[in-house]
Structure 1
Amino acid sequence: MFDHTRMTRRYTRGFAAAVVAAVTLILAANAGTARAADPAPEQRTAQSAGEPLSW
């Protein structure tokens, strides 16, 4: 017959592994994708670059 403390340790390790797996999945789901610091970079035009317009 199995020793009682051996079974308790086995269930404790299994429960701890399940908790670690759940926390890892929750943190990974909340991580999301990285966002750019400036979502719309300034577009350089001839006027904003200080160059004269050629007509």
Structure 2
Amino acid sequence: GKGVGRKLIDEIIKYSEQNNLKSIEVTTNKKRVENVLIYENLGFTLSHNKFTISIS
């Protein structure tokens, strides 16, 4: 792309550092491998899985 995602993450990291935040968490569907790879390329590491149930 045009690097918009990288710029956004850079600004979020800068804001987080200025406000003494300790971590940033994002959620994506790990079945969408391209999303997982994008976040890994931005410096994120996969740390845990989340379980949900949909109620109709």
Answer whether TM exceeds 0.5 for this pair.
no
Q: Whose helix fraction is larger, Structure 1's or Structure 2's?
A: 1
TM-score (norm 2): 0.31
Highest RCO, 1 vs 2 (Cα 8 Å, sep ≥ 6):
2
Q: TM-score, normalised by structure 1?
A: 0.31
Of structures 1 and 2, the larger Rg is shown by 1
